[in-house]
Amino acid sequence: MLVQKLLVPIHYTSLANTFLLLGANLGDRVQTLGRAAYLLSERVGLVVRASGLYETAAWGVVDQPAFLNQVLLLETTLGPEAVLDLTQITETELGRVRHAHWGARHIDIDILYYDQQIIQTSRLTVPHPFLHQRRFTLVPLAEIAPDFVHPLLRKTTIQLLEECLDEGEAKLI
């Protein structure tokens, strides 16, 4: 049984929108992403939008199986660090073992945005620092939030996608 203490169990009184990127390239990828979305809806907040599932080649370390990726938009009353705690608990519960940076994994959950906040702590950087460089992130994000404006770069998701130099294909399954 997984027992882990939330480091920052802060609840806000208002709702915040958080965008999460889910990725999996080991095991039953479809089932894992579905289970992750369910657990996140139970733990973090209401899933108000979900992209389709996109198959993409691995990024960073390319000698590994293809990923399935999906972006979720959740409404949450949790603070960003509590969201991080719960995404990491969910990753561990679904079989994530951190061996190698950008290595193969059963599940990866990244916080892309937390409202329009800019967060830089020892544990968390939001917006996600590589978001604008990764087609596998931008394509599903553009499906559900084409006009969302990156708070640092001041560009919409569509503009970021048009300018993205990553040539990797994101194929809707």
Active site residues: 96, 105, 108, 110
Token representation of residue 39: 């657990």
**Residues 78 and 104: beta-carbon distance below 8 Å:** no
How far apart CA 155 and CA 151 sit, in angstroms, is 8
Token representation of residue 101: 């940076």
Return the exposure string of 92-124: e unless at least 16 CB atoms fall within 10 Å of the residue's CB, then b. Answer: eebebeeeeeebbbbbbbbbbbbeeeebeeeeb
